[in-house]
Amino acid sequence: MFRGASVYLLVSLFLVLFAGSGIAQENAIQVERSTDKILLEGKPYYIHVVKKGQTLYSISKVYKVSQKEISRENPTVAFGLRPGQALKIPIYPEKPEHKMPGETEDFIFYEIESGQTVFFIAKKFDTTVEVILDNNPDIKIDDIAVGTIIKIPKRKYQVREQKFEFSEQDYIFHKVRKKETIYAISKRYGISVRELKKANVGLRWGLKTGQYLRIPSSKESPDSTCLIVKDADYEEDTSDIFCASLPDISNRTLKVALFLPFYLDENSERSYIDSSEVDDHGEKIMEIIKRDKTWVYPRSTYFLDFMLGVKLALDSLQKEGISVELFCFDTEADTSVVREIVEMNDLSGMDLIIGPVYQYNLSIVAPYAMNLRIPLVSPLSSKGNLTEINPYLFQIVPTIDAEFEKLASYVSNYHEYNIILIHSGDLREEDNIFALKRNLFRYFAYRTFFDEVIFKEIVYNEDFTANDTINSVEHSLSKQVENLIIVPSGLETFASEILASLHTFSKDYSITVLGYPTWMKFRNIELKYFYDLSVQIFTPFFINYDNYRVKNFLRKYKHNFNTEPDQFSYAWKGYDIAYYFISGLSRYGDHFLRCHKDYKPQLLEADFEFKRVNSHGGYANNHFRMLKFTPDHEILDINNNEAKQD
């Protein structure tokens, strides 16, 4: 049993383990361009048969065809590749590479040379680091590859600042502040929500901090210009000023404890006894079988991936000058082991504890970390009961309540639609459905009046016949307005039946479906339903393979471990969690609990948005992405403000 050591010992052990595992099989994942070609509807294609370990990214690189184009031609890749799967890949004539122009009317294009930094380039072109980063969002200030081409805006003469006046005589103007609601603003000025929306068409898409609203008024503003109304008791939040003024404290080594079920004892067993054969007398033959060198204990695979992601994060942090000493503990998913680890190891000097992953083990470590005031990260559990009582606990996976809150807030933007909730009526889901409806109507109250909301509920269960289902769904649909269907179920069979029924009406009705995050892992559902019904899914995690940082991570992962993680690998979470918390603690030190909300580093699959659950509790991640399937067979990553278009 592995009790504790520095990161160097554990990583060495992992590298030895993986040196003889499938992860180290370079030949097993090598992608070779197929020689098989076909002609479909006059268009030539390669036929590529997927092998174990190959990824969409590596295939696209070999064929020099974008991942988006491959996905469009093969819709099933949206849910991951499978060994033996045949992909049709368009054949395009190879085009000569065009060099980036040296400059245009507005920009200079510059190629990074060895030893150069963003600070050096900013000084060279008489500009600022902020300007370069704003115009090159895909680059990372601390990790720019030699040969990267960046664009630098040309300096222009600054014109005199002009003052623009509002010419609308019948309005005053209000600047929206953080956490203000439409209802609160309407009450403040003594007007109705309807009047406020009528004067501000953009409110159909919700409020934005800093946005100016027109307020109908019988009084003219003093000079017909913008009038900003202030609260006498409003207190400006100065925490961002405080956090920005903190000195750099990255010169000390941070100590981090990692609690994961590595199952090192099980992985060390390289043989087993096979008794499946019998002799002529019917007696079992006991034969010792040596395990293949590629074998890894199945239950440890996900967590070893997590560790490899952590290792790459530590490599990135080291390049930024952040020193980390990592102490790893094999929990074996056993409460007695976790108790022994806590009792036998002095963790008081730790700056951060990541894990354990299971709630029953986390409940053992949480009180210990709270007493020592050590930030503790729950990396995989969505249960929030411990977060409610531990002010030092950070929960990565949002709770079901947070998911319903975000879903209800989003749906309320479409209150003029025909909104239909379809669920199974299962008593085990009764509390969740009630919570979702409660949140929906609470947010409707912020947007409009109840009598203006078209809301219908269909309870579909096993007692329904196929005709009953089709009839009940069709009767609930409207041809006069858009139909927004909410299906709050993570069961593939249930979701598949509902989508099949809705799909039969998609040509006659305008339908959009909102689904669960687990839908991204469905394997047997007809993907045509997702695209034709414009399915939208809230999920806290998503990998954009076109993102520069993701490509860079994949390149480093393959270089170090001779393989690539799939989209559901824990390696992504391992990297994001380690990088976010360690770099944040290095930046803010003991003030991290106060300043984390201002810290927004660029990560891979997550954008953390931690909110305190109550006055004496910890912090839960409330960030969700909205993924939208389009009829063009694309999956778009959109936010609430972009989701609705005329």
Residues 639, 603 within the same domain: no
Residue 444 resides in a domain: yes
User: In CATH, what number is assigned to the domain containing residue 43?
Assistant: 3.10.350.10
Highest mean pLDDT among 21-25, 181-185, 478-482: 478-482
For residue 236, the number of C-alpha atoms closer than 13 Å in the C-beta half-sphere is 5
- Higher-confidence residue of 83 and 356: namely 356
519 shares a domain with 410: yes
- pLDDT, one tens digit per residue, over 190-218 is 887 778 877 776 565 567 776 777 787 64
**What is the full DSSP assignment across 420-457?**
EEEE---GGGHHHHHHHHHHHHHHHHHHS-GGG-EEEE
Cβ neighbour number for residue 399 with a 10 Å cutoff: 19
**Domain-located, residue 4:** no
Q: How confident is the model at residue 142 (pLDDT cuts 50, 70, 90)?
A: low
Residue of higher predicted confidence among 95 and 474: 474
pLDDT band, very low/low/confident/very high, at 238 (cuts 50, 70, 90)? very low
Confidence of residue 619 (pLDDT cuts 50, 70, 90): very high
Q: Tell whether 9 is covered by a domain.
A: no
User: Does residue 444 sit in the same domain as residue 571?
Assistant: no
The answer to whether residues 492 and 526 belong to one domain is yes
Are 594 and 530 part of one and the same domain?
Answer: no
Do 407 and 525 share a domain, yes or no? yes
The amino acid at 81: L
Lowest mean pLDDT among 137-151, 359-373, 577-591, 592-606: 137-151
* 315 lies in the same domain as 451: no
The answer as to whether 235 is a domain residue is no
Its sign, for the CA torsion 458, 462, 463, 464, is: positive
Q: Are residues 527 and 589 in the same domain?
A: no
CATH of the domain at 553: 3.40.50.2300
Round to whole Å and give the CA distance between 223 and 94. 64
Are residues 86 and 141 part of one domain?
A: no
Asked whether the beta carbons of 355 and 328 are under 8 A apart, the reply is: no
Query: Of 22-26, 53-57, 155-159, which gets the smallest average pLDDT?
Result: 22-26
**Structural domain tally of the chain?**
5
Domain residues for the domain of 527 are: 401-539+628-643
**Do 636 and 493 have their domain in common?**
yes
In the chain, the percentage of residues whose pLDDT exceeds 70 is 79
Task: Identify residue 88 by its one-letter amino acid code.
Answer: K
Q: Which two tokens stand for residue 171?
A: 């309005």
pLDDT of 307 > 90? The answer is: yes
623 or 9: whose pLDDT is higher? 623
Residues 6+ apart with CB under 8 A from 29: 51, 52, 53, 54, 58, 562, 563, 564
Per-residue pLDDT tens for 560-598?
Answer: 988 889 888 999 999 999 999 999 998 888 888 888 888
432 found inside a domain: yes
Mean of the per-residue pLDDT values of the chain: 78
User: Does 396 fall in a domain?
Assistant: no
pLDDT confidence band for 228 (50 / 70 / 90): very low
pLDDT at position 217:
62
Instruction: Give the model's pLDDT for residue 164.
Output: 34
Q: Are residues 459 and 413 in the same domain?
A: yes
Q: Are both 443 and 534 inside the same structural domain?
A: yes
What pLDDT sits at residue 58?
82
Q: Is residue 180 part of a domain?
A: yes
> Residue 161 domain-assigned?
no
Residue of 102 and 99 predicted with greater confidence: 102
* Max avg pLDDT among 53-67, 90-104, 386-400: 386-400
Task: Tell me, yes or no, if the pTM score tops 0.85.
Answer: no
